Structure 1
Amino acid sequence: MTDVDLRCPQCDDMLNPLDGLPDAATAVALDDSAASAVQAMLNTRIRALLGLVRVLSERYNAASLIYRRLPPEILLRIFAYVTPSGSHDIMLAHVSRAWRSILLSCPSFWSKMLPYAVPCTLRPRPTKWFRTFLQRSALSPFSLKLPYLDSAVFAEVVSCLSQITKLTVQIPRSEVNTLCKMLQHGLPALRSLSIGHVPYVTVQDAEITQPEDLAQFSFDHLRSLRTLRAPSWFFHSGMDFPGLQILEIKRCDCAGRVCRGTSDPGNTVNFLRRCHCLKTLELQEDITPQSSDSPSEEPVVLNKLSRFILKLDSADAVSRALRFVVYPESVEIRVGTVWREGRHFPMALMHSPVVCDADELEIVHGYYELKLQYIRRGAVRVRFSATYNWLTRDNAADCFRELLQLLAATTRSTTQLCIDGTMFGQLPWFNALRQDYEMLLALFPNLTSLTFRNLDVAPAVYFGVLEPSGNGDMLCQHLAKLRVAWAHPTSTQAVRQSCEVTRTVLTKRSSAGSVLDVFQFTCDCSEDTVSRLRYLSDDVDMCMADLEQLGAGLEHVVKEVSVETPGWPDRDPAL
């Protein structure tokens, strides 16, 4: 039995129901008049206790049965937003009969329970819970994700196909016909379809279905389909989805162990030619001819394309895809590749009108990745990222030369440049940092805004290239805004040297006629950096003094100066 709290509602003291009553031995010796008095006292105490019981009951009901006062419409709305975290959440239907009745009329809850009961490779046979959740989900349109599909699973879901709006399915290679039968059977509400192989299937487990075998199936009834993600083996020459807007030709999940040789790039290209409403195209496989200059192969024209995503293994494959697809100039291009043998950058970007008119460029470089981002009037036009796990000092010079060639052809109208310097000083291709930066900045004669972000090398290394020469020539002579963010300085000497070089360079540029409108300098410092500086016997207060003097010394050189020192401790005012 649950313990009952007998505290007084007024004073919160514990109540003893028998307090003040005579014990049993004393009550036996009482005469009739005394016994009547005791009985009256008992009746009074009983009435008082009944009053306390009512108070405790009201308090309990008010605290623990709030849901009983909620209208069913409110509970139904709440359950529609519940996201189950496991199969144990079915216990919600066991709280009360009212909750069970409401949950049975909430199909979205059961569709979210489906992932915990669907067949998978370890449990391929449909269970009774899968059947139950599927039937309850099918009361309204729902999404279905099947990690494993075979004829037995198809037999269970066939009665619910008309309500499926989004289907994600993985199949053994031997069950391709089962998938096609499902699609042919009727999915009138289907708007999104994603297809893949069971990841660890082998050739011995599969009965290979050749591409020509798929041509016997017709999917003309899938008029509502707007998103398709599938490997190239799925497409055949007669396939047509006229309303398709998003297409992802993905790498097969079997990594080519099963379907290698069964894909026909020609079928995929012919399918692309019929996607007249396509807005987003993502290629993870190279479907283009090895020689896109062949006169017998016409390019694919996609006049409504707004986003072109390329995730291929080589820069040459990216270049072929960029040349083979005709797209509007307003398209956004996203490129992801890996540096292997051959070219490091897709040189087809050099001739693309999408990047030639970009007015802003961002260069982000880490130890294993380089990112370029071209921006036009505030809108991103091209995002390029390349992984260079195999880049060494032996081929670094060729890589840097290709980068300069690419930027020289695509930055004619660039007026804003942002360089994220994370790990820049440690890259194998920057053997002579000052010389490389001079060649890089020389490509931007019309630059008006320059930003150095997340620098891990002292700014003195970067600012030195901006100093005018003896005859008055200088890089970026139209520069009006200069922003610098230096993270975690290594020593007091590095701070002092950077302040002196910055002051000298900006003063000389001002004397030569190149006056900055805005100069922002941020030197970020963490507790670990302060501890390291003090461990090296560096004077942290002197660093703060040098940074403050930098701002004061540039007030007559720059129109607007801002020097910020977040994370630094308060400086001793006596210094």
Structure 2
Amino acid sequence: MAATSGAATIHAHSVSELRPEAPANVSHPLETLPGQASKREVYKGYVRAQRSAHNNLAPIHRFLPTEILMEVFAHIIPTSCTALCLLSVCRKWRYIALRTPEFWSDLLRIPVVTRAAVRGDPAGVERFRTFLQRSAPIKFSFNVLCLPSHVSEVLGAHLNQIGGLKVRVSGDEAVVLYGWLATGMPLLQELEIFHKAAYPLNPSYRDALRALQCTDFDLPRLQTLRVSPAFFVPGLAVPSLQTLHVGGCCCDDCRGDGKTYTLHDLSSFLRRCPYLFSVKFSMGSEPLSEPGELSHRPVSLPQLKTLTFEHYQAYSLRDVLSSLIIPHTTIVRINSETFAQGGETYFPPALRKLPLPWALRSLRVVVGTCTCDLLGANLRNESGRVKVGWKTIGVLNRRTEIFRDFADLFASPAVSRLHISVASNLYPTCLDGPRMAALLSAFPQLTFLRVGRKCHDLFTYLLAQSDPPPCQRLDHVIALWSVAWEDEFWESCDLVEKTLAHRAGLGLRLSILDLRFRRLYGLKEQEIDVDLQVVRKGLEERFRPLAEKVEITIEV
């Protein structure tokens, strides 16, 4: 008990040492009552004095150094302006918070702060100005939908703090912004300039923008640039740039003849950015073409990792690729679409002349009632990849030569993988026996073939008695069949067996045969009088001597 009491005594003593001392003697409020002051006001002043005296003796002030408290305030991430209540806790907290720029820099990230300033509210503008002044020299990012003059005036005094800038501007606002860039923004790393489509650019603004000339001294740290075509000028290029994204706006100034930059301007820009590793061209970013531009010396981008084209016209795609020298390790992605009218081909002839750094090795064509999707790619390997996606929209049910156009455009011995899928109602008019033979003969080095819907013509072609035999390197076949039960189903199986036996006799035995019967017309699930699993296993046993691996799938 004695030991316990002693411990309790020691504990109580240590707590008493940490407990704040009583506030200093404060005069009774009525003893200092001014002549005309009310008792309520006097008591309020008395309470404030008591609070101040108590806070000055609080343990957090007595034991935590000022540097620790500044570090605490620097790690506070406020979500609203109510965080300013920290300044009202005590004089010391206010003193420290006012001298912690990280705290004020985080306040600038609150959307309501920038929205109030952009609206032009006097209190909001003054608050924005105050936060900026107290955040110096901390770097901050700014993201707004417009850049009015009262905001430009405030930001213009803090250009050396801006690390990220994302704005949507009109012509006059863009002139002010480009003036900032020419003046110099030493910390700017990311810049996004989008066009306010409702504000067309007049010639005077265009001339002012094209006069911009930035240097690596003005923007020494700029790494990412996203810009609308209307604002894309060669003067924005700096050597430190690593990521470039042009496009994304669909207004007349950015997509039509209103834009001013040409292929020569684009080449001049890229030539000043040797360290680019990602370039992306989006909707409306096709440069204007001028006679003789393709005769200029191509631009080499030795560090380029990815090159992307979205919603790009075929002729512009050819011109841009012709003006570039890119490594074989670059990943190229092309995605676009076109509208086919009467008498036009479904694949633009310009696709035939794309100066890709390597040949396409895989082709995929999916034909539907109103669309034709083309996907071309080279295989994933150590030398890089390229992916070309093209969608053609039109009335396809009357087109009978779509695969002839496709074979004429992409015929190549480099293609080793081919995927064909045609809607069942279009198959008779788009891909009958002669068209299937002409299509497959355009790709003699096929090793992988996938055909959907109707596969009779495929196996008939592979059975042909010709010298040399068709598709000599073919070793993997996937046939997705839609047939009627029961006669057509067994006729199809007999055709497959006959074809495989013929090719095996020629030393062209398949490595993988994958037959997928996706739909058996005339056989309803509720009226099944046959065990499909037994049928599947029987077919596997039947074809196994003719291929190294056989997979059969039967679905009702």
TM-score where L is the length of structure 1 = 0.66
User: Which residues in structure 2 correspond to 1:354-433 (within 5 Å)?
Assistant: 354-356=357-359, 358=360, 360-365=361-366, 367=368, 368=371, 369-375=373-379, 377=381, 381-390=385-394, 392=396, 397=401, 399-408=402-411, 411-415=412-416, 417-419=417-419, 421=421, 424-425=423-424, 431-433=430-432
Q: 1:391 to 1:370 in 2, by over 3 A?
A: farther
Runs of 5+ consecutive residues of structure 1 not aligned to the other structure:
1-71, 570-575
Partner residue in 2 for 1:512: 506
Partner residue in 1 for 2:188: 190
Partner residue in 2 for 1:446: 445
Does structure 1 conserve the Cα–Cα contact (< 8 Å) formed by 2:223 and 2:241? yes
Does structure 2 conserve the Cα–Cα contact (< 8 Å) formed by 1:173 and 1:208? no
Q: Which of 491, 495, 510 pairs up with 1:501?
A: 495
In the aligned structure 2, how far is the partner of 1:157 from the partner of 1:189?
14
Shift of 1:331: 3.2
Runs of 5+ consecutive residues of structure 2 not aligned to the other structure:
1-68
Shift of 1:213: 1.6
Partner residue in 1 for 2:552: 563
> Which deviates more from structure 2 when the two are superposed, residues 542-551 or residues 158-167?
158-167
1:231-269 C-alpha deviation (Å, 9 max, x unpaired): 344344555411222222315453328985351424444
User: Which residues in structure 2 correspond to 1:331-346 (within 5 Å)?
Assistant: 331-340=330-339, 344-345=347-348
User: Which residues in structure 2 correspond to 1:192-341 (within 5 Å)?
Assistant: 192-199=190-197, 201-203=198-200, 209-220=204-215, 221-236=218-233, 238-250=235-247, 252-256=249-253, 260-261=257-258, 263-265=260-262, 266-284=264-282, 285-287=285-287, 289-291=289-291, 295=295, 297-311=296-310, 313-340=312-339
Does structure 2 conserve the Cα–Cα contact (< 8 Å) formed by 1:280 and 1:307? yes
* One-letter code aligned to 1:441: L
Does structure 1 conserve the Cα–Cα contact (< 8 Å) formed by 2:378 and 2:385? yes
In the aligned structure 2, how far is the partner of 1:556 from the partner of 1:402?
38
In the aligned structure 2, how far is the partner of 1:394 from the partner of 1:231?
40
Q: Which of 142, 145, 162 pairs up with 1:144?
A: 142
Q: Secondary structure in 1 aligned to 2:389?
A: strand
Shift of 1:271: 2.4
Q: 1:405 to 1:431 in 2, by over 3 A?
A: closer
Does structure 2 conserve the Cα–Cα contact (< 8 Å) formed by 1:533 and 1:540? no
TM-score where L is the length of structure 2 = 0.68
Q: 1:140 to 1:476 in 2, by over 3 A?
A: farther
Does structure 2 conserve the Cα–Cα contact (< 8 Å) formed by 1:449 and 1:482? yes
Identical-pair percentage: 20
Shift of 1:413: 2.8
Does structure 1 conserve the Cα–Cα contact (< 8 Å) formed by 2:294 and 2:319? no
* Alignment pair present for 1:550 and 2:548: no
In the aligned structure 2, how far is the partner of 1:477 from the partner of 1:463?
14
* One-letter code aligned to 1:563: I
* One-letter code aligned to 1:464: F
* One-letter code aligned to 2:185: L
Partner residue in 2 for 1:18: none
Does structure 2 conserve the Cα–Cα contact (< 8 Å) formed by 1:232 and 1:268? no
* One-letter code aligned to 1:386: W
In the aligned structure 2, how far is the partner of 1:534 from the partner of 1:136?
76
Partner residue in 2 for 1:476: 471
Does structure 2 conserve the Cα–Cα contact (< 8 Å) formed by 1:244 and 1:278? yes
Q: Secondary structure in 1 aligned to 2:393?
A: coil
Shift of 1:338: 2.8
Aligned residues: 467
Q: 1:207 to 1:444 in 2, by over 3 A?
A: closer
In the aligned structure 1, how far is the partner of 2:280 from the partner of 2:195?
19
In the aligned structure 2, how far is the partner of 1:553 from the partner of 1:480?
18
In the aligned structure 2, how far is the partner of 1:496 from the partner of 1:510?
21
Q: Secondary structure in 2 aligned to 1:194?
A: strand
